Structures are given as structure tokens and as C-alpha cells.
A and B are shown apart, each in its own frame.
Chain A
Amino acid sequence: MSWFKRKTKGITTTTEEKKDTPRGLWYKSPTGKIVDAEELERNFYVSPEDGYHVRIGSKEYFEILFDDNKFTELDANLESKDPLKFEDTKKYPERLKSAQDKTKLKDAVRVGVGKSKGKDLVVACMDFAFIGGSMGSVVGEKIARAADYSLKHNIPLMVISKSGGARMMEAALSLMQLAKTSVKLAQLADAQIPYISLCTDPTTGGTTASFAMLGDINISEPGALIGFAGPRIVRDTTGKELPEGFQTAEFLLEHGFLDFITVRKELKNKVNQYLDLILNQPLRA
């Protein structure tokens, strides 16, 4: 005997009437803490209970850094080509197309210029969602042009790295972007324009071996993975178990490669505090 009796057989509720939890309403952090999506956004995409910094992209970082989310995007239309006719299990142009469709981005970095606490700032921010935030010709060129803009207008530059490294599908062309971006950073340095490198989760490979480690200050967020060789490669090569916390932001701070770690909520304040101090300007409130 059952407690409820079905009058008609099967499921009769139509998909439209289904009372499902809408996707994206809740976020679950790696330690299992659950947070309401809107609350997460209000909390700078940091899980309030355990302080976990959720991976975010250029849209969110621009929102955090620019006053009233107002900024002008530079070189928004730069797109990748396929100079090597690269094909692995998929053709490179197909990979690009599907990444563009999925992310609504043109490539793995966006550059914005706008006011942060009332003063101009150029921010180049990588998007990990676009082919692992990999650096090919477009990423190199956009960062180089961002630095050119900084040089021309005497505005500090901030690059937010979030990348698996150089993009394999452009092979040596990607590799040479390490040199290209470094050329521009050398010019910025000679012109005494501050350059801030924010390394976010994850920053590895060619990105670490170029602009991510070359800031006047290198800073990061709690728990971010930062390294040259990825942890799996290090483990496979050395055959050693990796110590706890290996290649985290805290590990890099301890070994002397970061100036400080900041929680996302304080990011805008800390960046501008540094700029006022290094440029010997009155501190903005």
C-alpha cells in the first residue's frame, strides 16, 4: 500500500513548468561551502565562509578595479590567425571559433583604460576561459600595445595574469611573445612608469617566464597557483611528492618572488596605495 496514489502514469509536468534550481544560483567552493551567487558577486567573488577566491575573468576584474565599471577597451578587435596551419586532434581555427563562441571573447586577454580611485590606469587582464589563457600572437601584441599606451600617456600599467603559458598552436611565434612583451616592459621601466603584475590562479609557463614575474611589484591572491613548470610535470620529472602548498602564492611570497598577497576586496585599495607611494603622490582615501 502506498501513501500517495498516482492518478496518471509517468511524469506529466512539462519542462517549462519544472521547478528546478536555476543554474548558477549557488556556488560551491572546493571545501564544500555553498554560497548564493549574488552574495558571491557582492563579496568580490570570494566564498565568504572559507575565503576561497573563485576564478574570474576580465569582466569581473574590470568591475573590481575601474570606478563605476567605466573603462575604454583597447584593441578589442584583434584576433588570432593560423600562420602555422596547426592541427592536432582539432584544427586551430576550429578551436579558436569554439572558444570564441563559448566565451564571447576574441582572445585570451582584454585591455581596459579607465579611472581607478580617480586616476588613470591601464589594465590588461587575461581570460583563462579562452584556451587556458594561453599566450599567442594576439595576447603578446595586446599587452605590448597596452604598454605602448601607458608609455604614450604616462599611465601606470597593470597586467593580471591567468594563464597556462604560451599557446602551442602558434609554437615559436608564441614563444617570441615572451621577448616582445619584455621589450615593452624594459621601455616602461626606462621611462619610470610603474608596472604592477598581479598573478592569479593559475599563472604558469611562458607567462611566469615573462611579464608575470617582471613587475615593479609582483602581487597575488590567496591560494593562487604560480609556477614555471606545472606541478604534474615537476612530480613526473623528479619522482618526488610535492610538499603541501607547493607553488601557491604563499609559497612564492615565502621564497621571495611576491611583494604581497591581497584579498580581492582590498585589491583596488592596495594597488592604488602602492602607486601613490611609489610616485610620491598624496595617498587617496
Chain B
Amino acid sequence: MEYLEFELPIKELEEQLQKCRIIGEESEVDVTETCKNIESKLKETQKEIYKNLTPWQRVQLSRHPNRPYTLDYIKAICGDTFLELHGDRSFKDDKAMIGGLGKIGDQSYMFIGQQKGYNTKTRQYRNFGMANPEGYRKALRLMKSAEKFGIPVVTLLDTPGAYPGLEAEERGQGEAIARNILEMTRLKVPVITIVIGEGASGGALGIGVGDVVLMLENTWYSVISPESCSSILWRSWEYKEQAAEALKLTASDMKKLKLVDEIIKEPLGGAHRDREKTFTTVSNTIVKVYEDLKNLSPEELVSKRMDKYSNMGVFKD
């Protein structure tokens, strides 16, 4: 397990606890009481730390190297029923954007999401979760295919942004994202969107226009990353914490602004601390949300979705 800087007190206590247990096992000394004390102190420290997370600390948690990624969720939720589908049918298969069909109970879903890697090699292979235009076009192809057969769509958002590369520009990164956003506003099947990590700007929204949009507790969603915001507005990378604060990018801020619908609770310490529990919660949430959406006709779905996005924005009239 890797620890973030603000988690170091927890790391220390966990190590103490482990040592205490080893001593107990290897010697005659009775350490039950000492272990108990450390354990309760650990619990308290955890509660204290995770209760008062700053926006920047949430951003760090959303990028935690042990955090589950899109395929982890899908494989845990769908098991062997998951069938990955590849390619945009015109250029190539983008490894940073994955998709495919899978079952929860008796219901099929089309899952789509950005995919990050878990070590240096796979991170490069997945392009750090930054999709190219072909990734967005692959996503749209899968959504249209789901629409054709009346299959609900679940999108899982986790990206530091769409890839700002030379070839991405040549192949129309802006157009690909714009097309997805437009087509998603009028897709005739339910779209459930969950931010599971980083929700960075157009790169996230490019698969993120949903009937119901949810955020896991320790994720962020905004128009720009705190680092880039800092470098543009403060002309220095040093102000990322202030930028994270100013952008109101946490799940609770986003819910207050009515830009997302619900927050999904994470286990204490973050999704990676109890992956199984996180997967179960997410799976149950998808089923519950779909139960409500499946009764709407395609026309009702689209018109509600359009109304919802038409009402976003704050201004003086």
C-alpha cells in the first residue's frame, strides 16, 4: 500500500500495530492491550484525517496509485460476463478508452470508460488515461450500438484530460469530443455516468453526458486540473492547492452546484482501502439508478436529459 503525505500518521500507526502483533506471536509477552490501544488510536487518526480532507487532498486521493480503475470495476461487477469490444472502425483501437458489454444480474449494460495503468509499462500503454480522438469515436460507436439494441450505457470517468498531442489535433480532438457530447444529449437509452477518479474537463465530459451523474466521494470534476489552473491564472505551478479550493471541484461542491446528482460513499480512507466494498456499492448504485430510468420512454429520457443540461449555469437576467 502506498501512502500520501497526509496519510503518514496512519502509516506509522499501522506499522506499529503490525510490529506489536509480531511481538505477540513470537514471544510470551501479552500485547493484547497494547495492540488494542494502537488500533483504537489508528481508527481515531483515520477518522480525524479523512473527515477534514482539503480539496487538494481529495485530488490526491483521486489519483492514488492503488485506486481501482475502470476495468477493475467492470471485471468485479460483471465477472465472466464482460466482453470487451475494440476499435473505432476508422483509425485504431485507443487503449486509453475501453468499452464492452457485461451483465449485472439479468440486465446487459454497455460499459465505457477511460483506463489508466497500474505500473510504468501499463501507464504508457494506456497513455495515462488520456484518450485520443479515436477513443472518443470508439466510445460513440459503442453508445450508438447500445442505442440500436436498447441497452443502457454506463460510463466511468477517470482521466487527467483528453490527450493534447500533435496527432490528436490532426485527427480532430475537439470535433470528436464535441460530436460525443452532442450525440449523448439525444441518445435514446439510459446513460448512467460515474466519476471514479479524475474528471478533467472536455476529456471527461466527452463520455459524461448522463441522465444521472454520480461522483465517488474522493474524486474531482472540473474544467481544468488544479495544476494547469494554477499555471495559467497564477503563472506558477505553486498554487495548485488554492486552485483546487477555488475551482469547487469536489463531489460535495459539485452536488451543491447541482452539476451532479449523487455522491457515492467510499470506504474510510478511499476506494482502494476496501476495493470489494467499493465495487459492491457501485454495482448496487448502477442497478438502483437503472431501476428508475428504465420506466421512462426514450422520448421522456431525452427530453429530461436535455432539460437538465439546459438549466445548468448561473447568470443575471
Contact = CB atoms under 8 A, between A and B. Distances in A.
Contacts of A31: none
A58 B171 CA distance: 30
Contact of B246 (A87, A213, A243): A87
B70 interface: no
Contacts of B254: 172
A81 interface: yes
A209 B177 contact: yes
Interface in A99-150: 136-138, 140-141, 144
Contact of A180 (B223, B229, B312): B312
Contacts of B174: 208-209, 212-213, 226-228
B310 A80 contact: no
B161 to A, nearest CB: 8
Contacts of B162: 209, 228-229
Secondary structure of the B side of the interface? helix
B29 interface: no
Interface stretch (B19-27, B91-99, B180-188, B262-270): B180-188
Contacts of A172: 221-223, 247-249, 254, 257, 259
A255 B172 contact: yes
**Residue with the highest number of chain B CB atoms closer than 10 Å, among A79, A171, A238:** A171
B179 to A, nearest CB: 7
A77 B310 contact: no
Contacts, number: 192
**Residue with the highest number of chain B CB atoms closer than 10 Å, among A144, A170, A233, A256:** A170
Nearest to A236: B164
Contacts of B233: 88-89, 168
A210 B181 contact: yes
B313 A180 contact: yes
A172 B223 CA distance: 5
B51 interface: no
Nearest to B223: A175
Contacts of B234: 88-89
A211 B185 CA distance: 13
B165 interface: yes
**Residue with the highest number of chain A CB atoms closer than 10 Å, among B202, B234, B316:** B202
B149 interface: no
Contacts of B183: 186
B178 A208 contact: yes
A219 interface: no
Interface in A193-234: 205-206, 208-214, 226-229, 233-234
Contacts of B171: 255
Contacts of A206: 201-202, 223
19 contacts: A77-B317, A78-B316, A84-B247, A137-B312, A137-B313, A144-B310, A168-B224, A168-B247, A171-B224, A172-B223, A172-B257, A174-B223, A177-B312, A180-B313, A209-B181, A227-B169, A228-B173, A237-B163, A243-B166
Interface of B: 162-166, 168-175, 177-179, 181-183, 185-186, 201-202, 205-206, 209, 221-224, 229, 232-234, 239, 242-243, 246-249, 254, 257, 259, 306, 309-310, 312-317
The 9 closest A-B pairs by CB, nearest first: A229-B164, A208-B174, A137-B313, A228-B174, A88-B233, A228-B173, A209-B202, A213-B175, A83-B314
